[in-house]
Structure formats: C-alpha cells, structure tokens
C-alpha cells in the first residue's frame, strides 16, 4: 500500500483518541513519513492520560503476577524516556516499609505458591521475598542511570519519622515521576511538527469502509459543524471508549472486550517533609503510593474498582476516599483524615478483558488487534501503561508495517520531546539561566516553568517580551498565550488542571479571570486568522 503525500486528502492513518497511546502512535507514524490525522472529542489527555499516579515505573507488584516481559520492557523504558524528557520526568526514590507481623489477603500467583510451599507463612510476605523482587527489579531492565535498592533503618532514618514505630525497617528503590498530561501534549506537538494534523474537540461520529478506504465522519463539538476525512487505515486508540468505537462508530462485531477499571486518588496537605515517596502494602493484598506532590501536597493512590461505562463520570467516591485514608493511616503515625484532603481525581483504565477475577488482577499489558480481512485495515489498541507508551507505538507501527512498506523504521528511542533537549541533570542550569534573563521570576516559579517547558521556557518569555500580567500562582500572560498558540489549550480548565496543576492554588475568581482573558485572546487570534 503506497504512502500518501502529506498534502493529499487521503491520510495514511486516522487515529481516534488524543490520549497517550493515540498521540504516541501519531508521533511515531508521522516521524516515519506517514500522513496522519488524529481526532480527540475533548481536550488532549482529558480522560485517563491526565488521571494516572504520575509514575514511570516498571510495576513492582506485577512481578507477583509473573508478568516479567511487561516489567522488563517498562524498566528499560524508564531510562530511555528519562533521557528524552528530563524536564517533565525525573528520578524518585521509593520507601517500602516492612512489618514482619503484618498479614495480607492476596490471591496473586506468588501468594498461592508460597501458601502451598510454606503454609506457616500464610498471609505474610517474607523480607527475603521482597528483597528478591527488588533484586529482579534492579537488574531485569539493565539499569544505568537510577541508583539501586538499599535497606533503611527507620528508627534512625528521617524517612521513618512520619511512620508508626512498628515500622523499623524499609527497602528503598528507584522509579520515576512523570507529568502525565504534559507528556501527551508534547507527543501531539511533536507529531504535528512532523506533519500530523491534530484535531481537538472533534468527535468521530461514524467510520465506514468504502472503496478500499475508511470514510470518517466528524463533528466539531463546539460548533456542531460536520466534516469528513478519508484514510487508508483507522487506528482506534479510544481508551475507555475503544469498545464503543468498535461497536457504535465502526459498526464491527468483535468478541474482544475492554475491562474498565477506575483508579481514584486523593491529594492531601503535605504529610512529610522529605522528597521520597512511600510504597505501602495493604492487608487486602493491594498497594498504594504516598508521593510528594506540587511542593506543598501529598498524592495518595490508587484504588482498583470496576467501572460500569465510559460515559459514567469517573469520580472518587466517598468509599474510595475512606479506603485510601484508612490504608494510609495504617502506616502514618498521625492518622490521615478527611480534613487533610484538598482534591480528588479519578481515571478509568481501559484494560484488555482477560477474564481475571478482580480489577486488581487484570493484566496491565497492551494488546494490539489488527482487523484487515474486510478491506481497509483497523487497528484496535487495548490496555497499556503510560511507561510503555513509546514501545506500544513502535509495536503498533510494526504490526501495520506490511500495509505501509515505504514507511521508515523505528526512530523514537532517545529522541527528545519538545523542550527536552538538555542533559538529565541540567534542570538547575536552565533555572539559573531563566532567572538571569528574567530577574522578576521567583525561584519556585522559574523551576515550575523549566519543569513544564524545559529549554522552551526561555523562548516562551522571549516571544512575549517578558512574563506579563500574573493571574495568580505565577501563571502569566506569556504562558497563557504560549499554551493557546502551541499547546491546544482553549479553556481555563485545560490550563489549570491539565497543562499544569495550578488549580490547587487558584481561587474561583482567578480562574474566571483566566477564562475571560483566554476568551478575548481566542477572538483576537480568530480575527487575525480571518484577515490572513
């Protein structure tokens, strides 16, 4: 199948879904010379991809399910991605407290094996087992940048101060933080820079095979204006809506399904002063993280609960809040209460339905299903982890490769995302450079800008001749203009809850002022575009 010219009305790939999988595939494909159109019915990263636990991690607990391939791939990817996006991702140390007397109700394959071999240990994870798992975690992925595991004496180490005295020993290991929604935006930007067309607020209402192509019908969700595109292949990266796209948009009968699993998080006032995260094991066999968040807060999550329907709002229920508070309070010396909670959020993970008994046991691996027996091919993307999004995109392009023999080969490993063209340890130098050029910036404000935009932070302020009006929490006119011009932002919500988390610091009046400024700016940009 020949590759279309970028200016042709027929695209090679039409991607449904502006989450991390859709934007990752669009970027990879565009970089191989394919013409790509991506449509997202809302804002980019509006659903699952902005509601994760914000970690690039191998998935330590997946070792208990013997998912060694998934864990190894994720561990290798951590360092590949660190090098490509050192502004929005950075190393983080995790403290796993050990309590010899704590019993767990676990139905993992590892737990069943231990119970059969050593029935006297029923309900306990022995220290040697945890250490073995961490040894595998250290070496399964060929770690080069991140430091390895060590043991902590919590009676002396500062990491023990916030915890109950019963926890006297801990294991400390490495994983990575990631600004999840910014990762999506930067992939979309890079895809567009390589020739892709990114359509936000564009709902796909129908897709049908016609004369060996896909005919895709769309509707602008703000104006209601319909439009049509044609493409040689359709990629369904609809996330929680992947099954709905198969059934109700493409009208294809399929036995494959998706299991919707809701993960809820709470954000509390800061619960500890150091910069390490905690990995807590629950008596029910689950785990949660307690992570330093946005300087002044702590992020706690996540739950695993089956979710009924993608159209149902993903909200953190009272029961989930109580569960997370109770779970964390098993470990922290001072109980965590509802008065500590400042924000909650939930996301729905579209896991491949592998028939697992529980949401916790359902596989986090991705499944790529290619339907090319009925004419124009359709690729359906099920599941996946944010850590392996780049490898998922490579696997997707490999799977459809025979349909596009003129496409280039894999290229994304180690290639920086926008703003990420600096060394892993170069954040401090960029902050110093930015403050030297714009002395009015406070240290924390300059750090936030570098962490969000990397080397582009200076370009942003230079283009606007300085920061301009401050709307609160260091959000300025220069940044708002950049986000609207370059990062697809249209509303205040796009800015304060996805491009940033400044919504934690801004009041309703400040958000309304941002919305008014953006509305006026939209009108001005539209008038300029019409005049041109």
| Fold classified for 427-531 | Helicase, Ruva Protein; domain 3 (1.10.8)
pLDDT of residue 326: 97
Under CATH, to which class is 92-102+110-177+259-350 assigned? alpha beta
- Both structure tokens of 318: 């009272």
DSSP of 104-169:
----SHHHHHHHHH-GGGTT---HHHHHHHHHHHHHTTT-SSS---EEEETTTSGGGTTB-TT--E
Model confidence pLDDT, tens digit, residues 96-124: 999 876 665 655 555 554 455 444 334 45
pLDDT, mean over the chain: 90
| Nearest one of 133, 114, 112, 152 to 59, comparing CA atoms | 133
Cα gap 81→45, rounded to integer Å: 19
Evaluate if residue 419 carries a pLDDT over 80. yes
**Alpha-carbon gap, residue 479 to 224, rounded angstroms:** 29
pTM: 0.92
State the CATH class of domain 10-48+182-257+363-403.
alpha beta
Q: Are strands 366-371 and 378-383 parallel, antiparallel or unpaired?
A: antiparallel
Tens digit of each residue's pLDDT (9 = 90 or more) over 200-250: 999 999 999 999 999 999 999 999 999 999 999 999 999 999 999 999 999
Task: Sketch the domain layout of the chain as residue ranges.
Answer: 10-48+182-257+363-403, 92-102+110-177+259-350, 427-531
Residue linked to tokens 């990062």: 487
At 363 the pLDDT is: 62
């Amino acid at each position: 199948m020949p590759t279309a010219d970028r200016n042709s009305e027929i695209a090679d790939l039409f991607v449904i879904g502006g989450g991390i999988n859709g934007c990752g595939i669009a970027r990879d494909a565009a970089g191989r010379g394919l013409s790509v159109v991506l449509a997202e019915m809302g804002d980019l990263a509006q659903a699952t991809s902005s509601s994760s636990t914000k970690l690039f991690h191998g998935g330590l607990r997946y070792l208990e399910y013997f998912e060694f391939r998934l864990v190894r791939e994720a561990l290798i990817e951590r360092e590949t991605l660190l090098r490509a996006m050192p502004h929005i991702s950075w190393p983080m140390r995790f403290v796993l407290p050990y309590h010899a007397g704590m019993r767990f109700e676990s139905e993992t394959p590892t737990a069943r094996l231990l119970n059969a071999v050593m029935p006297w240990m029923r309900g306990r994870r022995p220290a040697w087992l945890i250490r073995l798992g961490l040894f595998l975690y250290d070496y399964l992925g060929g770690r080069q940048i991140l430091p390895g595991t060590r043991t902590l004496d919590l009676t002396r180490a500062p990491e023990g101060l916030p915890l109950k005295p019963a926890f006297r020993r801990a294991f400390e290991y490495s994983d990575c933080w990631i600004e999840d929604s910014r990762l999506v935006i930067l992939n979309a930007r890079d895809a567009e820079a390589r020739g892709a067309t990114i359509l936000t607020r564009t709902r796909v209402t129908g897709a049908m095979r016609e004369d060996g192509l896909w005919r895709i019908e769309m509707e602008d969700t703000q104006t209601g204006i319909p439009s049509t595109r044609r493409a040689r292949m359709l990629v369904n990266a609809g996330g929680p809506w992947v099954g709905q796209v198969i059934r109700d948009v493409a009208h294809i009968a399929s036995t494959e399904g998706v299991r919707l699993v809701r993960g809820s998080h709470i954000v509390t006032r800061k619960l500890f002063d150091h910069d390490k995260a905690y990995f807590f094991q629950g008596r029910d066999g689950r785990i949660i993280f307690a992570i330093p968040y946005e300087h002044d807060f702590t992020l706690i999550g996540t739950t695993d609960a089956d979710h009924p329907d993608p159209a149902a709002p993903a909200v953190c229920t009272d029961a989930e809040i109580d569960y997370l508070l109770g779970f964390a309070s098993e470990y922290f010396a001072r109980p965590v209460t509802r008065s500590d909670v400042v924000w909650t959020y939930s996301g729905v993970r579209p896991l491949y339905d592998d028939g697992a008994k529980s949401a916790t046991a359902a596989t986090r691996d991705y499944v790529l299903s290619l339907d090319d027996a009925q004419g124009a091919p359709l690729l359906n993307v099920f599941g996946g982890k944010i850590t392996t999004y780049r490898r998922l995109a490579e696997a997707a392009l490999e799977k459809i490769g025979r349909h596009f023999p003129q496409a280039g080969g894999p290229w994304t490993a180690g290639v920086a995302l926008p703003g990420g063209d600096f060394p892993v340890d170069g954040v401090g130098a960029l902050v110093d450079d930015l403050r030297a050029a714009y002395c009015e910036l406070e240290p924390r404000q300059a750090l936030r800008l570098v962490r969000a935009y990397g080397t582009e932070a200076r370009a942003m302020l230079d283009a606007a001749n300085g920061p301009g009006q401050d709307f609160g929490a260091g959000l300025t006119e220069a940044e708002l203009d950049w986000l609207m011009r370059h990062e697809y932002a249209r509303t205040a919500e796009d800015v304060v809850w996805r491009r940033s988390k400044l919504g934690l610091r801004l009041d309703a009046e400040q958000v309304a002022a941002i919305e008014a400024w953006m509305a006026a700016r939209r009108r001005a940009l539209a008038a300029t575009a019409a005049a041109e």
